[in-house]
């Protein structure tokens, strides 16, 4: 395997192991979740835009931790078995709006493949926040508290 590919893999694995906290803090200019979100609308939008990859029950794709032949990981679950709740709101918003590759590139991690497309062309910021609110509404209280702390830390680290 080429050294550049090994290096890119190492960066991704390290970033994931660190919870992407330092490497992928919220990019500057990412809005904070509005005080008013519509969980029901988020559920409908999730079914329309997200469930085909992440599952109707937020279960993700099979073997989501194993990189596919083309270098892309399958869509992860958004339930307690996944890592969505390990990340702050800013990263989740950016990843949804701009897509995985653009979000990595904005943090200086170029050439990393991601199957996650950006939805900024199809969804408004409010709709993205509604989807994220729906996903978070399915989590346990403990998961929501952990994720809220990640969001807090992310906001403190953001320029």
Average pLDDT over every residue of 109-130? 94
**Cα dist from 122 to 40, 148, 151, 154, whole Å:** 18, 27, 25, 26
Provide the token pair at 72: 């892309």
User: What's 85's DSSP letter?
Assistant: G
Which of 71-75, 107-111, 124-128 has the weakest average pLDDT? Answer: 107-111
All structural domains of the chain with their residue ranges = 3-157
Domain spanning 3-157, CATH architecture: Orthogonal Bundle (1.10)
pLDDT of 121 reads 97
134-159 pLDDT tens trace: 999 999 999 999 999 999 988 887 66
Residues 128/34, Cβ–Cβ less than 8 Å: no
Q: How far apart are CA 140 and CA 26, in angstroms?
A: 24
Q: pTM value?
A: 0.80
Q: Which residue has the higher pLDDT, 31 or 32?
A: 32
Q: Find the length of the chain.
A: 159
Q: How far apart are CA 2 and CA 25, in angstroms?
A: 29
pLDDT of 3 reads 52
């Amino acid at each position: 395997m080429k050294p550049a590919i090994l290096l890119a893999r190492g960066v991704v694995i390290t970033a994931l192991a660190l919870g992407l906290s330092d490497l992928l803090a919220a990019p500057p200019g990412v809005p904070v979740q509005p005080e008013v979100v519509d969980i029901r609308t988020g559920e409908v939008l999730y079914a329309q835009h997200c469930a085909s990859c992440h599952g109707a029950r937020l279960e993700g794709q099979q073997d989501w931790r194993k990189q596919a032949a083309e270098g892309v990981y399958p869509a992860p679950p958004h339930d307690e078995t996944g890592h969505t709740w390990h990340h702050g709101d800013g990263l989740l918003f950016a990843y949804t709006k701009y897509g995985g590759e653009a979000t990595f590139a904005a943090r200086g991690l170029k050439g990393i493949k991601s199957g996650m497309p950006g939805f900024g062309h199809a969804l408004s910021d409010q709709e993205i926040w509604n989807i994220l609110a729906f996903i978070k509404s399915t989590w346990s209280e403990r998961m929501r508290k952990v994720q809220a702390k990640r969001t807090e830390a992310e906001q403190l680290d953001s320029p």
